[in-house]
Amino acid sequence: MAKRNTYFEDEKIEKKIDLKQLRRTLTYILPYKRLLILVSSMMLVAAVVSLLPPRLLKLVVDEVVVNQDYRRLALTVGSLALLAAGLFEMLPYLLFLLSYRPGVWEKWA
65-85 pLDDT tens trace: 788 888 888 888 888 888 778
Low-confidence ranges of the chain (pLDDT < 50): none
pLDDT (0 to 100) of residue 2: 58
Compute the distance between CA of residue 17 and CA of residue 46 in angstroms, rounded to an integer. 30
pTM of whole model > 0.85? Answer: no
Torsion of CA 67, 72, 73, 76, to 10 degrees: -130
Nearest residue to 72 via CA among 85, 55, 60:
60
